[in-house]
Amino acid sequence: MNQHPATILVIDDEAPLRRFLRATLTDRGYRVVEAENATDGLAAAADQAPDVVLLDLGLPDLDGLTVIRRLREWLTAPIVVISARGQERDKVDALDAGADDYLTKPFGVAELHARLRVALRHSSRGGAAGAAQAERLAVGELVVDFAARRVFMGEQEVHLTKLEFNLLAALARHPGKVLTHTQLLREVWGPHAAGETHYLRVYAANLRRKLEPDPAQPRYLITEQGVGYRLADE
């Protein structure tokens, strides 16, 4: 049972959008803190300990990517970008900088609340346990046992190669979160492989053949076109 409402920090210089977000988030039971520029937003993040940050990239005093990087020096809470910049490159840059999710303006209320629910699940998973990762992840029929390096679909064990398991584990440690091509290549293959996106295509296809009931309609390993991959979290 929650002891207090989740705190959402909104950093956006558009007053009408802040009013809209304040109304819809308060109506859903969240506590809302607002900042109209990067300087105030960074100060509010330090002072208010938000559970999620909603961040616009087009701020008047600092670029949003700089704000993400500064927050990530110490803040572990999820950062959800809300921006009119909708190009793939913008999304990749924000996620590589440390954002957890990206919503393109204009967005619907239902989608906003769905993304917040996902962000808050991530926040609660990372909370008191800190760096101690869960030993297993279960999503649908898929079970990943990190400690034993074993994977199951239902009762059936699925045999993966070392690199296949490393790729799946990288995604499974952040269920629901988009990991960019660069993030995955660095984590699984190392910094020298940052541009080798064909590695990901090959190994993602291998994982789908082994894990998905229908590899052409993936249930677990989802492609975010031009950006990266995510593992479904429900």
Q: Are residues 42 and 147 in the same domain?
A: no
Name the β-bridge partners of 9. Answer: 33, 53
Averaged pLDDT for residues 63-67: 94
Q: Using 50, 70 and 90 to split pLDDT, how confident is the model at 168?
A: very high
Top pLDDT among 219 and 5 is at: 219
Tokens 């900042």: give the residue.
Answer: 35
Last residue of a domain, one of 86, 104, 126: 126
Establish if 159 belongs to a structural domain. Answer: yes
Q: Are residues 120 and 158 in the same domain?
A: no
Q: Is 134 helix (H, G, I), strand (E, B) or coil?
A: coil
Q: Is 229 helix (H, G, I), strand (E, B) or coil?
A: strand
Q: In what order do the strands lie in the sheet with 179-180?
A: 179-180, 228-231, 221-224
Q: What percent of the chain has pLDDT over 90?
A: 54
Q: Are residues 146 and 118 in the same domain?
A: no
Q: Are residues 17 and 91 in the same domain?
A: yes
H helices present in the chain, as ranges: 15-27, 38-48, 64-72, 88-97, 109-126, 162-172, 181-188, 197-211
Last residue of a domain, one of 105, 126, 147: 126
Establish if 1 belongs to a structural domain. Answer: no
Last residue of a domain, one of 126, 155, 190: 126
**Parent domain of 51:** 7-126
pLDDT in tens, 132-151: 456 888 999 999 998 888 99
pLDDT in tens, 86-134: 788 888 999 989 999 999 888 899 999 999 998 888 766 544 333 345 6
For residues 184 and 170, give the distance between their C-alpha atoms in angstroms, rounded to a whole number.
7
